[in-house]
Amino acid sequence: MPYRVPKTRLLPPRLPHEVERHRLKRLLEEAWASSSALVLAAGAGYGKTTLLVPYGGVYLALGQEAKDPVVLLWHLGAAYRDRVGEGVYEELEGLLERGNWPLALEALLEALLNLPSHLLVVDEAHLGVGRESLRVFLALLRVPGLRLALLSRRLEPFEALGRVLTEKELAFDPEEACALAQALAPEVPGYEVERAQSLTRGWPLGLRLMLLAMRKGLKAEEVWWEGEPRVALGHLLLAALPEEVQLLAARLSVREEVGLEEAHPLLPYAEDLVLERLENRLRFHPLVRAALMDRLPEGERRALLNQAAEEALKQGEALRAAQFLLEAGRMGHAADLLLAHGEGFLRQGLTHSVLGLLEALPKEVVQARPSLVLLLAEALRQASRYREAESAYREALARGLDRAYLGWAQLYLDTVEPAKARPLLAEALRLYPGEAEPLLAENLLNEGRVEEAARMGFSGPRLLLRRGQPKEALALLRAEPLAPSRASYEREPRGFLRPPLHHREGSLLRALLEAVCGDAKEAVRQAERGRWEAQVLESPFGVALAEARRGHALLALGRLEEALQAYRSALAFAQGGPPRLQVEALGGLAALLGDWKEPFSEMVRLARLSGDAWVEAFMTLVVAMARLRRGEVFPLPHLVGADPFLRALAEAYPFQDKGHELLHRYPFLAEKTLLALPVERARRFLWEMGQLDTPYHPGVRVEIRAYGGFRVRVGGRPVRFRRRKAELMLALLAEKAWRREELQEALEVSRGEFRVLFSELLGLLEPGRPPRAPGYFLSADPCALNPVPELYVDLWDPEAAFSIPFLGLDHPFLEEAALARVAVHRKKLLSSPDPQDWLHALLLDPLDEEAYLRLKATPLAQRAEEIRTEAVRAL
């Protein structure tokens, strides 16, 4: 159900504007020239709205309920609805109805990129700022062309967002005070205006009301009252308004805004009351409202707030009603309202609103209503605060609330711990079979009992993945990128059970599937998107899973050092979370580290502890395939939870002579994917199947590394050259392609000797090559290394770690090539702003004067001195 945003929140008020504040306008333009965000932080009545509204753009006024990021995005969506179009708005609406505010924020940001430059004014920003909503404002700053103005009664926490103007700048100076007096009370003498400006310290609202009172013949000292602004304001109102007007205004102000018909008696005094006009309604300035309500007896004030809550409730604004009740101090009534509407709030995704209301209630009020304990548990789980949620579910069960079995079981579905969920689901099935059966279906899937889950109605990409159909699962996710963050059931569970926002479906499942059978570069993007969503939610759980999935994508791409760092980061974020969260990170470490036994054993232990046999089988094969691609046959154990795809992969391992049928069924295993066969074996199978257009395939991988010394490996084994000149020939070919005669001359050999060297090189790189078959790695005319997928040359890899190439090889061309590469790399290092790079440049050339002088002014100066001294001594 869509959240209803009051229209008045989107309409800038019509305010008096008697003084052109040229000084402030110059400050605004200077501020926007240096920052896309402007914060006007000053108390009520400092003219923030009056100053910004004439600039046009998009206007939005917030209330306390906007601390919930879902509510804030409903407001932003409504404010931009006409500008972004109905299609975008409907997409936002669908995401927000499911509570998926990170994706809704991303969709809004994408839509804003297509809009022309404009101003967004967020009024009363201090009311709508919470930890999550602040991240929405931070994200808006990423939109080029968007100028953001935050109008707040306090500076914190906006001070770091952009340029700040405070009360000091916003206060009226003497010249502006005189201009206001000319417009409002020209009969007041100048020295009295100066006195009024001095007493109010330039406070625009106070100065305005004082001038209106002075127009009636009162002196500045008679109407001013030192103290709190709202106390001073109340005194000014008393001086300027008849008693009956004060009383009516006080009673009406409780509701914050009223219709023109009801407020008709106040219209002659609209200027004195600083009423804001919004179409056919009048809004009370917050400070004026507070001052007026102070005039009401406590009992009447509470009764009127209670009445305002009832009216808000009739209009379907339950959150606003709860705020009125809290303001009235009717904590029991607010708790009862939350009991009646809390489940609905959670179904709308208003998790943070529920948590905020529960935190505002005294503990004894919550404890007196056991159902609120269960509501708290659900809200905590949906906010991914699992430990707190677990404690709250335990308390709810102790208080006799059996429905806690459902939510607690859902918690272990969220964290993929089927063994822990099993006993809870048994109780839930006994008590609530209709609601528990879909949860049981998902838990069966997590246990590896896939067909049973399917028979119970579970469907979606996770089912397809665990059935051994990753390609079909990926196609489904690609077709529905904004699918709900849980598998779709034939029977959706009733009640308010929802998964957390960073759950398995969506970006993180898409990242895994892209790495397994799609585009590994897209997998990196999806993992980074999932990480951003988790960071927005401040969820270490989501960040850990995103980092593990990013590690999978980088492993598939062969970016092994980056993958290792991602897995280590995932493991760090997973500490303190559910055991299942560490499984993928540990598997990644076992795939990449030299000593794989310890992380692999821990991975297996935690996977079994959580009861997820499929992930154990999957990650075991990730480890086995990664190590096989590096030339090591992994001792593959029996895989209990393997699906048909994983079983077929395990049966063909290590692919000495089996794999043809596997590649035919799963062609993505020949691409850069997570479970890919070693490239040389995959392409050999494809050649044997007639699917690779080459006369011959050697079935081996060749690695040529020149940085730091010349090393060659064929099929994972180091090559021993019988002739030194054969090694020189390969080094020369790694640097560039040569005409035959040119290479012969560089090697200083005869034509016959050249043929012998070339033949030896072919034999070393392509063992078992049939006679007279054309070379696969080497071409003879011109003489060159063929850039085939099975060949790796570090000189060709921009990501390869640099060191002086061709060390140990004595040849003038290679020496010149090495010097040229060192010079290029040194230039790149010196263009960096990082002193560590300058140090690396000095290590390459210890007598480099430029690098040495730069380092003298850094903390690395002592190390630079040591390098230079040692080099001079060596000379």
Question: How confident is the model over 492-532, as pLDDT tens digits?
Answer: 444 556 666 555 557 899 999 999 999 999 999 999 988 98
Pairwise CA distance, residues 387 & 144, whole Å: 40
The reported pLDDT for the residue numbered 484 is: 42
Neighbour-count burial for 279-316, b at 16+ CB within 10 Å, e otherwise: eebbbbbbbbbbbbbebbeeeebbebbbebbeebbeee
CB 439 within 8 A of CB 409: yes
The reported pLDDT for the residue numbered 500 is: 62
| Among 164, 225, 155, 169, CA closest to 202 | 169
Rg (CA), the chain: 36
Cis status, amide bond into 157, omega within 30 of 0: yes
The reported pLDDT for the residue numbered 267 is: 82
pTM value is 0.76
The reported pLDDT for the residue numbered 492 is: 42
CB 468 within 8 A of CB 643: yes
Pairwise CA distance, residues 420 & 425, whole Å: 9
Helix segments in 227-267, DSSP class H:
229-240, 243-253
The reported pLDDT for the residue numbered 574 is: 92
The reported pLDDT for the residue numbered 428 is: 94
CB 674 within 8 A of CB 556: yes
The reported pLDDT for the residue numbered 217 is: 67
| Among 535, 533, 539, 537, CA closest to 509 | 533
Query: In what helix (H) or strand (E) does residue 791 lie, and over which residues does it extend?
Result: strand 791-793
pLDDT profile of the chain (875 residues), mean per 10: 78 76 85 85 82 87 85 92 89 83 87 91 85 84 89 83 85 83 80 78 78 71 56 60 83 84 82 73 77 84 90 86 89 92 86 89 91 93 88 94 94 89 94 92 90 91 93 89 42 52 72 96 94 81 93 95 96 89 96 95 94 93 95 91 94 91 94 95 92 89 93 91 93 94 94 93 88 88 92 91 91 94 90 88 84 85 86 79
- Tokens 């689901």 locate to 425
Contacts with 547 (C-beta within 8 Å, 6 or more apart), sequence order:
527, 531, 566, 567, 569, 570, 573, 585
Query: DSSP 3-state assignment of 705?
Result: strand
Angle between helix 751-765 and 724-735 (nearest 10): 80
State which amino acid sits at residue 847. L
Helices (H) and strands (E) in the chain, counts: 45, 14
State which amino acid sits at residue 612. D
The reported pLDDT for the residue numbered 222 is: 57
| Among 438, 415, 426, 402, CA closest to 540 | 415
Half-sphere exposure at residue 503, Cβ-oriented, CA atoms within 13 angstroms: 25
- Strand order through the sheet with 717-718: 717-718, 711-714, 702-705, 791-793
Contacts with 745 (C-beta within 8 Å, 6 or more apart), sequence order:
none
